[in-house]
Amino acid sequence: MPIRPIIAYPDARLRLPAEPVGTFDSDLAGLANDLLHTMRAAPGIGITGPHIGIMKAITVIETDEKTGPRTFINPQIVNASTEMMRHMEGSVSMPGFTDEIERPSTVTIRYQMLDGLWCEEEAQGLLSVCLQHEIDQINGIFWLQRLSRLKRERLLKRYEKSLKVG
């Protein structure tokens, strides 16, 4: 269960779409396990293959201890509510920087489990936000792209300044 290095923004790989997973084997299960341990060490509540430079459509999410970690392979949003919610978001690839993003409050997702079985479920609240955020990342949309131009520019100035200081 090694902790993998996380790619830092503005690495170009964070803006590339991931490839669908086609092979469901022990290597995929090992990748999911590595993602879980890397996410917890970051710390974070969601991580994707692209965050560690593995351009595969996989995400591991852990929004609460009761539910525990969940792995979603080839996830896609099939329906989204018209009701919106705001939530603070950030990224393990840009630690310490967050901003408020508006997203649908409920989504229906279709995904595969580690054994390849397809599932469909509805998610609300924090799980909905997290799934949308990580599916965006799998599709090559870094969370900053969901901010207004002004908010993005302000955040990027602070981020760039922190890199020069650090």
pLDDT tens sequence across 70-103: 999 999 999 999 999 999 999 999 999 999 999 9
Is the per-residue pLDDT at 54 higher than 70? yes
- Among candidate residues 57, 59, 50, the one with its CA nearest the CA of residue 11: 50
In percent, the amount of the chain with pLDDT more than 90 equals 94
Residue 113 has a pLDDT of 98
Taking the C-alpha atoms of residue 32 and residue 1, their distance in angstroms, rounded to an integer, is 10
pTM of this structure: 0.95
Is the per-residue pLDDT at 6 higher than 80? yes
User: Following CA atoms 8, 13, 16, 19 in sequence, which dihedral angle do they give, to the nearest 10 degrees?
Assistant: -110
> Quick one: pLDDT band at residue 1, thresholds 50, 70, 90?
low
Average pLDDT estimate for 146-164: 95
> Quick one: pLDDT band at residue 65, thresholds 50, 70, 90?
confident
Average pLDDT, the chain: 96
**3 φ, ψ to 5°?**
-90, 120
Q: Mind telling me the catalytic residues?
A: 134
What is the 8-class DSSP label of residue 18? P
Is the per-residue pLDDT at 166 higher than 90? no
Confirm if 152 and 144 have CB atoms less than 8 A apart: yes
Residues 6+ apart with CB under 8 A from 109: 72, 75, 76, 77, 78, 120, 121, 122, 123, 131, 135
Residue 164 has a pLDDT of 87
Provide the CATH topology of domain 12-165.
Peptide Deformylase (3.90.45)
For residue range 94-133, list pLDDT tens digits in order.
999 999 999 999 999 999 999 999 999 999 999 999 999 9
